[in-house]
Amino acid sequence: MKIAFYGGSFNPPHAGHARCAQAAADFLLPDLFLIVPDYLPPHKLLAENSPSPEARLEMCRIAFRSVAAARVSDLELQRVGRSYTSDTIRELRLKYPDDELFLVIGSDMLFTFPEWHEYRFILSQCTLVVAARMVGESEELSRAVQRLREAERAKILLLSYEPYPASSTEIRKALAEGKSPAGLDEEVYRYIRENGYYLE
């Protein structure tokens, strides 16, 4: 069985995330595709005005509803503390010991991948599926892929699709200023307004 998973803070999830997930689903045709919002990101602090992990989970259910193959999972929310991808892989391996794992990440994550917790273990268990975050970064991305392949014998696939240049940071800023941000699903925006999230 082919199992893909796509993790992140999704704070909030936006059109760039959804487009990446759809491209990965179309490319991989996985038997199971998990969207896994983290409880606490390992590489950064959540913004002070961030909603609860449970609220981000619900926003993911809304934002990824059009990706037919995707299933939003609370796997990392069930663990207390920082959400390390290596721990998630261990949990998946308990359920799916002999299946193929594909980790979907953005190019920004690939550029810093050797800084990840237990990154060699991750590479030993998964094929990385990398999506460009911005138009025009193909050369830098190709170099980063080549370095990891040569240094770690990493299995890496590149998604061929048109990225949507959205930023959760910029969306949070616009929301705090009372603006309607570009790149945010209308239903996600309605959910945020109804609950008063991301206000200063």
Residue 30: how many CB atoms within 10 A of its CB? 22
> Rounded to two decimals, what is the model's pTM?
0.94
- For 2-165, CATH number? 3.40.50.620
Please state the separation of Cα 88 from the chain's center in Å: 13
pLDDT for residue 142 is more than 80: yes
Q: Calculate mean pLDDT across residues 129-145.
A: 86
Give the residue among 131, 184, 137 at the shortest CA–CA distance from 24.
Answer: 131
Q: Calculate mean pLDDT across residues 103-112.
A: 94
Q: Which amino acid is at 24?
A: A
| Residue 184 or residue 49, greater confidence | 184
Each residue of 2-30: pLDDT tens digit? 999 999 999 999 999 999 999 999 999 99
- Pairing relation of β-strands 156-158 and 32-37? unpaired
Q: Where are the alpha helices (DSSP H) in the chain?
A: 15-28, 53-63, 85-95, 107-111, 119-125, 138-152, 168-176, 186-195
Each residue of 118-128: pLDDT tens digit? 999 999 999 99
Least confident stretch, 45-49, 88-92, 157-161:
45-49
What integer pLDDT is reported at residue 137 of this predicted model?
Answer: 76
What integer pLDDT is reported at residue 138 of this predicted model?
Answer: 79
